Amino acid sequence: MNRSKWIDYAVGYVFIVSGLFKLVDSHFIQNFAMMGMPLPEISVYVIGLLEFGCGMLILGKIYSRLAAFILFLIMIGATLVAKLPLIFSEGILPFLFEMRLNIILMVLLIFIFYPNPHKKN
């Protein structure tokens, strides 16, 4: 099994679980509202469904590039809305600490979006 399959499994797993959790845990609506998200009741379900659906697509290797692009945009949004304010309230080190997993996921999404150019079909 090559490395790219493991990346697909890991990223798919993370977003499937994250999406499912947003869909079943009502606390996310409150969290979205506190972050100032518009229409938090709808936003949480849209983002949850996108995360779950795109995670499934990546896991199934169907439209993986499109799914990675959508998830990358979600990660940028999460960074701007949920993580960036930490710089102003708590400083750069807490921000960097909270961003560590986001950065890893974003790098892995880039690997999925740009498959190995040296791989021969």
Residue 59 lies in a domain: yes
Residue 120 lies in a domain: no
Look up the domain containing 74 and give its range.
3-113
Residue 13 lies in a domain: yes
Residue 89 lies in a domain: yes
Cα separation, 97 vs 28, in Å, equals 22
Residue 118 lies in a domain: no
Return the residue matching tokens 């079943």.
Answer: 24
Residue 45 lies in a domain: yes
Tens-of-pLDDT digits for all 121 residues of the chain?
576 889 999 999 999 999 999 999 989 999 999 988 889 999 999 999 999 999 999 999 999 999 999 999 999 999 999 899 999 999 999 999 999 999 999 999 999 999 766 665 4
State which amino acid sits at residue 28.
Answer: F
Nearest to 115 by CA among 1, 37, 7, 15: 7
Count up the domains in the chain and report the number: 1
Residue 10 lies in a domain: yes
What is the SS3 assignment for 30? helix
Residue 11 lies in a domain: yes
